[in-house]
Amino acid sequence: MRHTLRIVALLVLVALGGGAYWYFVKQGGTINTLLAGKVPSPGGASAGGPAAGGPPGGTPPMPVEASPVKTGTVSRQVTAVGSLLSSESVVIRPEVAGKVSEIAFLEGQAVKKGAVLIRLDDSIARATLAQAQASIAFSRAELARADELYRQRTGPARNREQALAKLQSDEAAVQLAKAQLEKLTLTAPFDGVLGLRKVSVGDVVAAGKDIVNLEAIEILKLDFRVPELYLPTVRTGQTLKVAVDSFGGRTFDGTVYAIDPLVDVNGRAVVIRARVPNSDGALRPGLFARVALTLDQTPNAVLVPEQAVSAFGNRQFVFKVVEGKAVQTTVTLGERRNAEVEITAGLQPGDVVVTAGQLKIRDGAPVVVVNNKPAGS
């Protein structure tokens, strides 16, 4: 007896499930019409007929939100971190030892190429030069006399050759004295900004002692690394955006001009160097930089809101609105940016896609676009 009751209950449940499937799926019925006692007829109208409130054509269209696809330029980027460097950097050091007699610059001052920075005591060098110049005057006179005697055949050729050799030796001594004198004056090798000096007037400095650093910062270098995976796509001439913590919200433009041919074996990374204009002097060498390198750009790319895309397994699809019906369309995704996703295949400019209400519709279902409007519109 109990077994029979179980079979009857199971049959009742199957019948109720089949009826619910027929009512809600096949006939488009709703909870409201069921509570009102309006059962859709096989023709699509409810038992109460059109006058009872049901649409004469069948399933009512589902309200959804939709918007037309956008077109715009999409950039494929890779992010990295790097360091800013001076385009030219040098520490001014004397080649010879000496006592500082004059400091001809101010710390932090911008200087031009060739500007005098430091003078060392040159009294001994000037005396040596004067001595060499006096000796060369005597050598010229000796050579003139030996040459005159040689032409008159009263003096040997050997005396003339000795006088000529002495003159050439004295000329070399003058050039040496001038070179030693020049090394006591330190000048700027290029245009730049001076740093903080490390000596004072009267200091006796050894050869190679640090005096002051000179930095060319009108254009800065930027060194950064990207994974070796991007080696086929990086090239000179690509543009990038640079952000530093010191200037939050501000970005600086740069251009790649060199790629190291040697891949770093420690991190398996490609070392890239870029130029960053710094005409206002805001950036400084040594700053930590965040880099966004643009690998390529796609003009007139098709863009849709991210919420318009649904996933089923490995496939991505959207619902297009075509003549009042939802058309399920498989799409291929590209880059994402600002809550939008690029569609590389499946949509064309001018298409309208459903952005809200996808769970209530299926392929071919009638829909009506009822986008939310601002209050008071």
- Residue 54 CA, chain-centre distance (Å), reads 60
| pLDDT tens per residue across span 171-228 | 888 888 899 999 999 999 999 999 999 999 999 999 999 999 999 999 999 999 999 9
* Cβ atoms 359, 319 nearer than 8 A: no
What residues make up the domain containing 230? 79-86+216-297
Give, in degrees to the nearest 5, the angle at Cα 79 between 77 and 85. 120
Does residue 261 lie in a domain region?
Answer: yes
Q: Both 195 and 176 in a single domain?
A: no
Question: Exposed (0-12), middle (13-18) or buried (19+): which is 305, by Cβ within 10 Å?
Answer: middle
Contacts 24+ apart (CB under 8 A), 142-148: 142/166, 142/167, 143/167
Q: Both 111 and 174 in a single domain?
A: no
- Identify the H or E element spanning 133: helix 123-151
| pLDDT tens per residue across span 294-311 | 887 778 888 888 888 888
- Residue 280 CA, chain-centre distance (Å), reads 20
User: At which of 272, 297, 322 does a domain end?
Assistant: 297
Q: Both 255 and 322 in a single domain?
A: no
Does residue 311 lie in a domain region?
Answer: yes
What pLDDT is recorded for position 203? 92
| Pair of tokens at residue 140 | 């010229």
Q: Both 9 and 38 in a single domain?
A: yes
Does residue 376 lie in a domain region?
Answer: no
Question: In this prediction, what percent of the chain has a pLDDT beyond 90?
Answer: 36
Question: Distance between CA atoms of 70 and 352, rounded to whole angstroms?
Answer: 10
Which amino acid would we find at residue 319?
F
For range 357-374, the mean pLDDT: 78
Q: Both 42 and 143 in a single domain?
A: no
Using 50, 70 and 90 to split pLDDT, how confident is the model at 1?
low
Does residue 374 lie in a domain region?
Answer: no
Q: Both 171 and 233 in a single domain?
A: no
For range 75-91, the mean pLDDT: 91
Query: Does 100 have pLDDT greater than 50?
Result: yes
Task: Report which of residues 149 and 232 the model is more confident about.
Answer: 232
What pLDDT is recorded for position 144? 80
User: 101 CB contacts (<8 Å, ≥6 apart)?
Assistant: 119, 120, 121, 122, 201
Query: Does 166 have pLDDT greater than 80?
Result: yes
* Cβ atoms 43, 346 nearer than 8 A: no
Tell me the CATH number at 172: 1.10.287
228 torsion bin: left (phi>0), alpha (psi -120 to 50), beta (else) = alpha
| pLDDT tens per residue across span 8-63 | 677 767 677 766 666 655 555 555 555 445 445 444 444 444 433 444 455 788 88
Q: Both 225 and 289 in a single domain?
A: yes
| pLDDT tens per residue across span 114-153 | 999 999 999 998 998 888 888 887 888 877 877 777 777 7
Question: Distance between CA atoms of 300 and 30, rounded to whole angstroms?
Answer: 43
Average pLDDT of the chain? 82
User: 7 CB contacts (<8 Å, ≥6 apart)?
Assistant: none
What pLDDT is recorded for position 170? 81
Report the number of distinct structural domains present in the chain.
Answer: 5
Does residue 377 lie in a domain region?
Answer: no
| Pair of tokens at residue 146 | 């030996």
The total of other beta-carbon atoms located within 10 Å of residue 214's CB is 22
Q: Both 293 and 221 in a single domain?
A: yes
Tell me the CATH number at 275: 2.40.30.170
| Strand, helix or coil for residue 110 | strand
Tell me the CATH number at 347: 2.40.420.20
Alpha-carbon separation of residue 84 from 133, 226, 254 (angstroms)? 50, 16, 11
